[in-house]
Structure 1
Amino acid sequence: MQYPGRIIKLGETDGKIVVALKKQLNAMLALGNQPALKLDPSNPTFGPSTKQAVMQFQSRHVDNHGAPLKVDGQIGALTWEALFGQASVSASSTAGDNFLGRVLAVAAGEADKKVRERPVNSNRGPEVDVYLKTAGVPTGLAWCVAFVYYCFNKAAQDAGRPNPMVKTAGVLDHWNRCAKEKGARRITKAEAIANPGLVKPGMVFVMDHGGGLGHSGLIERVAGGIIHTIEGNTDASKTREGGGVYRLSRKIVDINKGFVDYTGR
C-alpha cells in the first residue's frame, strides 16, 4: 500500500489505511502468537492499542538508512517505509521545472569537482572565493548560501535569463526575504512532515541553528522521508562549517526551518 502523504495517527478516519496498517503490524510484530495483543483488522479504528503497537514497532526497527525510528506512535514516511517497504513511498529525482534542473546540474558539477577549502578550515579557496564574490559578500565568510546562489546565478547566466533567487549569503536572510521579494514558496517544517510529497528536487532546505546561524543546501533527490542533497561549507559530519561541497542525505524531520521553492519563478 502506498504512503498517503500525511501523518497517520490516533483518530485516523480512513478505514482502509487503518485495516492495512493493523494487518501489517500483526505480521511484523508476530502478534498472531500473542492473542491478547493482536490487533483486530475488522475494526477500522486507530485507537490506543494501535498506537501502542506502532510504538512497539518503532522501538524495534530502524529506517531505510539504519537510523532508529522516532517512537511516537505516529506513522510518517519513514515508519511507513519500514512497515511496507521502500516501494511504498514516493521517490523523485525530477526538479520542479527545467530551470531548477539546470541549477542542480551546476551544483552536481561542483560536487563532482570535489571543491574543498584551501587552506583547510579557512572559508577560502579558488572556488569558494568565487561563490562568495558572486553573492556579493567578502571572502572568508561562511558560504553555504553563497554556494546555492552561485548555482542559481550560473544556471541563469547559461540560460540567458534573470536569476530568481535572493542575492544573499545569509541563511535566515534568504528565508525571510525570498517570498516577499522573489515570490518563492516557503514550506514550513510542519507542512513538510505532514506531507513529505511537498518537498521536491531543486528546492533549498533551510536549517536554523539559533543566534542568527543556520545552514542551507540544494535537494537533488527525495525518497520518502529522506532528502539527498548537494551542500557547500559542510562535510560528512553534516556540520554547517565543513570544508567543501558534498552530497549528503538528511531526514525531512531534521530540517527545522523549512524549504524554499523557486519553481516557476
Structure 2
Amino acid sequence: MKKDWYKKELLLKNTQQRNGADNNRKDVMKIQSWLCLFNIWNPNSATATGIDGDFGPATERAVQNFQKIQGLQQNGIVDQVVFDTLSVNLKNAFETPLQSNDLRSLVVEAAENHVNNHPFELDIKGQSNSGPWVRSYMDGNDGNPWFWCMGFVQAVVDQAASSIGKNFKDLMPLTYSCDTVGTTGLQKGILSRHQQIRQDLSLVQPGDIFLTQKSKFDWTHTGIITQVFGEVIETIEGNTNFQGSRNGIAVMKRTRNLMRSKIDVFSIAPLI
C-alpha cells in the first residue's frame, strides 16, 4: 500500500502513565484521542477526556474505565498491549484481508470494512478534521484546512488495488483534492458528467468514485459508490454527516439521487 501512515498511529514510543518519566506528549494525545473515540461508540463508558497531552488523574481514570470494560488489569497504565486494544478499529480497517476477486468488489469491500470500524474525526484544541483517522487518510496531516473525503477515497482504492498487485496511482495522482481527481478524469476520458449520467444510468457502477459538482471544473465532495438502484446510489463517504456535508465528522453510508444532484462519476475501469 502507498498510503501507510496509519501504521504510525498504531504505535507508542514508550509505555505511558500518570506522571511517567517516559511520557511523550504526542503519545498521550494519541491515547486520549482513542479514549474519546471509544466513548463516541460507547457513550456510557466514561472514557472521554481532554486531549491535551497531559497524562493526569482524569486520563488515568479514563484508561481504568476502558481497561475495566475490556477485562484488562485496571492499573491506568497504557503499554503497547493496551494501546493495541484501544486502536484495534484502525488496524482492522486497514489490515483485514480482503476476500473479493475483482477490483470493483474489492473497493466496495474495503469501504464497507472502514465504515464498520467507525472512522470519526475529533476536535483537538479548536481544530476540527483532527485525530488518528484523519491523519491515516491524509498521510499525517490534520486540522481545520484538511478536508479528508478524498484522502478516505484514495486510501480505500489503494487498499483494494494493492491487494491484487496494482498501483492506484496508475489511475490518479496521490492528492487530497477533488478538483485534481475531477480534472484527471476529464483528461483521461473517464469522468462521466451528471448530464450524461441522467441519460444513461449504466455509466455508474459499484466501486466508482462520485464527485459532487459545484461548477464545471469545481468539485466539492467525493465518496465510493457501493450500490446502484436506477437513479439512486448508495455510497460510503468520508468527512460527511447525515446531511451529506462535505465537511462533516465521520465515514458514513448514505443514499443519493443522481437526478437531483450534480453528481459526476470517475470510473475505476482503467485499473481493472
TM-score tier by shorter-chain length is: 0.5 to 0.7
Match of 2:147 in 1: 142
Q: Contact between 2:182 and 2:219, CA under 8 Å: does it hold in 1?
A: no
Q: Contact between 2:148 and 2:176, CA under 8 Å: does it hold in 1?
A: yes
CA drift of 1:176 comes to: 0.3
1:183-198 correspondence to structure 2 within 5 Å:
183=188, 185-198=190-203
**SS of residue matched to 2:103:** helix
Q: Contact between 1:184 and 1:261, CA under 8 Å: does it hold in 2?
A: no
CA drift of 1:173 comes to: 1.4
Bigger RCO of structures 1 and 2 (CA < 8 A, at least 6 apart) = 1
Equivalent in 229, 233, 236 of residue 227 of structure 1: 233
Q: TM-score, normalised by structure 1?
A: 0.57
Q: Aligned equivalents of 1:174 and 1:233: distance in 2?
A: 17
Matching of residue 168 in structure 1 with residue 172 in structure 2? no
Match of 2:223 in 1: 217
Matching of residue 159 in structure 1 with residue 164 in structure 2? yes
Moved more, 244-253 or 203-212: 203-212
CA drift of 1:184 comes to: 5.8
User: What amino acid maps onto 1:103 in structure 2?
Assistant: V
Q: Aligned equivalents of 2:219 and 2:166: distance in 1?
A: 31
**SS of residue matched to 1:130:** helix
User: What amino acid maps onto 2:107 in structure 1?
Assistant: V
Q: How many residues of Structure 1 are paired with residues of Structure 2 in the alignment?
A: 164
Match of 1:178 in 2: 185
CA drift of 1:149 comes to: 0.5
**SS of residue matched to 1:249:** strand
Gaps of 5+ in 2: 1-100
CA drift of 1:156 comes to: 2.2
Q: Aligned equivalents of 2:166 and 2:262: distance in 1?
A: 32
CA drift of 1:212 comes to: 4.8
Matching of residue 118 in structure 1 with residue 122 in structure 2? yes
**SS of residue matched to 1:248:** strand
Cα deviations across residues 124-145 of structure 1 (Å, max 9, x unaligned)? 12121110118xxx32200111
Equivalent in 202, 211, 221 of residue 206 of structure 1: 211
Structure 1 pair 110/228, CA: closer, same or farther in 2 (3 Å)? same
Q: Contact between 1:165 and 1:262, CA under 8 Å: does it hold in 2?
A: no
Q: % of aligned pairs identical? A: 24
Matching of residue 107 in structure 1 with residue 111 in structure 2? yes
Match of 1:254 in 2: 260
Cα deviations across residues 35-80 of structure 1 (Å, max 9, x unaligned)? xxxxxxxxxxxxxxxxxxxxxxxxxxxxxxxxxxxxxxxxxxxxxx
**SS of residue matched to 1:101:** helix
Gaps of 5+ in 1: 1-96
User: What amino acid maps onto 1:169 in structure 2?
Assistant: Y
Cα deviations across residues 141-196 of structure 1 (Å, max 9, x unaligned)? 0011110001011122222221133311111111001353xx46111111111121
User: What amino acid maps onto 1:122 in structure 2?
Assistant: S
Q: Aligned equivalents of 1:113 and 1:225: distance in 2?
A: 28
Q: Contact between 2:149 and 2:221, CA under 8 Å: does it hold in 1?
A: yes
Q: Aligned equivalents of 1:179 and 1:192: distance in 2?
A: 15
Match of 1:128 in 2: 134
Q: Contact between 2:172 and 2:184, CA under 8 Å: does it hold in 1?
A: no
Q: Aligned equivalents of 1:237 and 1:125: distance in 2?
A: 22
Q: TM-score, normalised by structure 2?
A: 0.56
Q: Aligned equivalents of 2:207 and 2:251: distance in 1?
A: 16
Q: Aligned equivalents of 2:153 and 2:137: distance in 1?
A: 8
Matching of residue 98 in structure 1 with residue 98 in structure 2? no
